[in-house]
Structure 1
Amino acid sequence: MKNTEGDSDVTTITEGFAPYGEYKTWYRVTGDLKSGKPPLLVAHGGPGCTHDYVDSFKDIAATGRAVVHYDQVGNGKSTHLPEKGGDFWTVDFFKAEMHNLIDHLGIRDAYCVLGQSWGGMLGSEFAVDQPAGLKALVIANSPASLRTWVAEANRLRAELPEDVQATLLKHEAAGTTDSAEYMAATDVFNERHVCRIVPMPPEVKRTFDAIASDPTVYHTMNGPNEFHVIGTMKDWTIEGRLSTINVPVLLISGRFDEATEACVQPFADEIPDVRWTIFEQSSHMPHVEEREACMAVVGAFLDDKAA
């Protein structure tokens, strides 16, 4: 038993590893998986981030619903595989990992999924298959197409100061995106469209630091940053496939989000049972930037649709 930060109630926290073939997926459960409410599985973004920056979703456990965080293989406390290339890191690999974790935890009969950014892309890929036991889905700050994401990122870049734009272009052309000057220019974008709390909160910094220490998955599938997407996922889209999702879906985005309204719109257009909340003071992380309001919206949706 452990007292979670900011809570007066004592909440059970369990950590473990789920064997996934020859690899291991680290997970943490906040609350009781047998509480009677379908637990919430939280899929982090990236690809290549860690659970740390979405840690705040543990607040949902206060509603009596267990919350499961995990680090996808290649990241955080799970098995790292820096030798693997683009043919290994695929949507199907991470989708199978999610299925494996659900079965390992014994929650196949009833569970919900919340995916943030890439996690929402993964969650939508998961949900279009109509998996057994899925009761509700939250897609948070996710694009339905990375081509639209890149187009919108270029539009947002064009609004940055001219010297910042010039620095970004110079280093991208030279292939020196690991330089300190380029990273400083990237921070200007991040502070507008990724997390508007400056300096970034400790849990968000832990994720950024983790990516820096092992960028294998992020660089392979995405690229060097949020807007220079040159990895294996650059042509990914789920547009045209979303109508098969047969559970209630909540969309979340921020008014200043790099996942702009154009990025999110196909989810709203194609998913049969969907609603969309835009947080007016947030960018890409309403769960951090407007934490209390975000948890209230997610908690109410889950209690309404997956009680």
Structure 2
Amino acid sequence: MEMQSLTYKDGEHRQIDVNGVQMGVVEFGRPVSTDVTAGPTLVFIHGFTGNATSWGPLLEHFAAQQMHVISLEMLGHGHSTAPENAQRYAMEHCQADILAALHSLNIGPGVAILVGYSMGGRIALYTALSGYFRAVILESASPGLSSANEREQRRRSDDALATCIEDYGIEAFVSYWEKLPLFASQEKLSIQKRNTLREQRLRNNPRGLANSLRGVGTGVQPALHERLSEITVPVLLLTGEEDPKFCGIARTMATQIPHAQHQIVANAGHTVHLEQPEAFKALVRNFCRSVQ
């Protein structure tokens, strides 16, 4: 698990070797000292179709707040490997890859605050069960689907969508994805921001996205409802007021996770960090201070 390069600059997009695959990573504010516990470390996990840079200027903002910022790319996204076997993308492998990446980056247990958005939020929630993190921030996340019937229906839907990506290509898929009701609130973003988001999505590997749906989609992930009480570290749940489905999910999770708080952000939908970045910054900063 050695880094591909021993010298790099803040914000440089690079790959690290973890568990037989390569994981894309962007890092800001790496401490000069070997004392990795000297300051807070934020570890970001993007959503489906995202990559390590999807958080945009937020990464540099938190680094400017004297934080060590690490943004990781899950398999099939960005600069990470896109294996042929969909099972390699499964939730347990996501957890193992994240922990191996942090070990490679000299981030020990109890140091980092894990931040996950949407798909990345589901992955972060599962990974939090490892007990490796100081705290967790979940944006528009869920513990999965509670019934076997719901999971099977969603699995079939995700598999059909994966086939469409393979059959019709990345551009047709991204055009479809952008028009989902879940992302309707993104229409309020500037044209420049929407174009940047689209260009980033188009750079993904179509096979990687298809296998990500098959391997770690909501329909195949383990349902975590009965395990939420096992997460004993502080948890911040963030949702947008224009995303009532995930507001409801977060309200329920907040009653089941022992040390959870739920914040609803006004004038935002599913992608709070993109639609209301100033509110996101403030909530994350305040939460990080509270868990130091």
TM-score when normalising by structure 2: 0.77
Deviations 1:23-43 (A, max 9, x none): 211212111334822210101
Change (3 A) 1:87 1:35: closer
Unpaired runs of at least 5, structure 2? 1-8, 151-159
Does the C-alpha gap of structure 1 residues 124 and 185 become closer, same or farther in structure 2, counting only changes over 3 Å? closer
Tell whether the 8 Å contact from 1:45 to 1:117 is kept in structure 2 after alignment: yes
Describe the shift of the 1:196–1:141 C-alpha distance in structure 2 as closer, same or farther (beyond 3 A). Answer: farther
Summarize the alignment of residues 264-303 of structure 1 with structure 2, pairs less than 5 Å apart. 264-303=250-289
The worse-fitting range, judged by mean Cα deviation, of 19-28 and 180-189 is 180-189
SS in structure 2 of the partner of residue 222 of structure 1? helix
What is the deviation of 1:72?
1.7
How many angstroms does 1:219 deviate by? 2.6
Amino acid at match of 1:19: D
Cα shift readout 1:216-269 (whole Å, capped 9, x = no counterpart): 34333437xxxxxx9854153211111111210000111122752233233212
Match of 2:102 in 1: 102
Question: Counterparts of 1:113-152 in structure 2 under 5 Å?
Answer: 113-131=114-132, 134-146=133-145
Query: CA deviation digits over 1:126-151, x for unaligned, max 9?
Result: 112322xx111001111222469x98
Question: How far apart are 1:12 and its partner, in Å?
Answer: 4.4
Look up the match of 1:167: none
Aligned residues: 262
Q: State the SS of the aligned residue for 1:55.
A: coil
> Is 2:76–2:211's contact at 8 Å kept on the other side of the alignment?
no
TM-aligned CA distance change 1:71 to 1:235, over 3 Å? closer
Kept in 2: contact 1:195–1:285 (CA 8 A): no
Query: Which residue number corresponds to residue 155 of structure 2?
Result: none
Partner of 2:73: 71
State the partner residue of 1:60: 62
User: Quick check: 1:93 aligned with 2:93?
Assistant: yes
The answer on 1:22 being equivalent to 2:20 is yes
CA positional deviation for 1:289: 0.8
Aligned to 2:207: 216
For the aligned residues, what is the CA RMSD? 3.3
Q: Distance in 2 between matches of 1:196 and 1:91?
A: 33
Q: Which residue identity does 2:290 align to in structure 1?
A: D
CA distance in 2, matches of 1:55, 1:147: 33
Distance in 2 (CA, whole Å) between partners of 1:21 and 1:176 is 29
Counterpart residue identity of residue 194, structure 2: P
Name the CA shift for 1:93/1:195 in 2 (closer, same or farther; >3 Å). Answer: farther
The aligned counterpart of 1:189 is 181
- 1:13 Cα deviation after fit: 4.1
Q: CA deviation at 1:45?
A: 1.4
Show structure 1 runs of 5+ residues with no match.
1-10, 152-171, 224-229
Q: How many angstroms does 1:275 deviate by?
A: 0.7
State, as a whole percentage, how many aligned pairs show the same letter: 18
Pairwise mapping of residues 239-254 of structure 1 onto structure 2 (< 5 A)? 239-254=225-240
User: Does residue 40 in structure 1 map to residue 42 in structure 2?
Assistant: yes
Shift of 1:206: 3.2
Deviations 1:265-295 (A, max 9, x none): 3321211001111111111111111111111
1:95 Cα deviation (Å)? 0.7
Letter in 2 for 1:45: G
The alignment partner of 1:52 has SS state of coil
Aligned partners of 1:196 and 1:283 also within 8 Å: no
Cα pair 1:55 1:69 within 8 Å, conserved: no
Q: Measure, in 1, the Cα distance between the counterparts of 2:216 and 2:283.
A: 33
1:206 aligns with 2:205: no
> Normalised by the size of structure 1, how large is the TM-score?
0.74
